[in-house]
Amino acid sequence: MAGDIRPTDHTGLRVLDLDECLARLVEVPVGRFAFQLDGELTVLPVVHTLDGIDVCFRTTGDSKIQAAVDHDRVAFEVDQFDARTRTGWSVLVQGTATVVDDDEDVRRLDRVARVPWVPPHEAASTWVRVRTQSITGRALV
């Protein structure tokens, strides 16, 4: 690409800027939420929504997530890879997680959210917010 002088990191991956990271968080519907509980690391896929620079998602009744999100350090990742061309990118959000308990906030998130993949009668109504402290992204070039 003409004029493409964007930076690479020490492994040769192209560094994505904040706007690129946010665009990819919007574009991809499923990301992975990583949290720690009782010394165990867990990574679970969720259908997410970007709210400002925060990542929000509904929990689907997994009490492990709700137990883990009491302002603990968490991570959220989205990526896309193509095995044929060996190209791809990933975006990592690091922050703290909280259960959204403000009714107005819940109603607003319900309005702006993607349609849940798990049928509504099975989906729990609890929203989790990842308060973003850093967003980084890399792409294979």
Task: Using CB under 8 A, list all residues that contact its own copies.
Answer: 10-13, 29-30, 32, 34-36, 39-45, 60-62, 73-77, 79, 81, 83, 86, 88, 90, 92, 94, 117-119, 122, 140
- Which lies closer to its own copies via its Cβ, residue 35 or residue 57? 35
Report in angstroms how near the CB of residue 80 gets to its own copies at its nearest. 10
Of residues 36, 105, 19, the one with CA closest to residue 75:
36
- Which lies closer to its own copies via its Cβ, residue 7 or residue 39? 39
CA 54 to chain CA mean position, Å: 8
The beta-carbon contacts of 102-108 under 8 Å, at least 24 apart in sequence, are: none
Q: How many CA atoms lie within 13 A of 85 on its CB side?
A: 8
- Which lies closer to its own copies via its Cβ, residue 52 or residue 80? 80
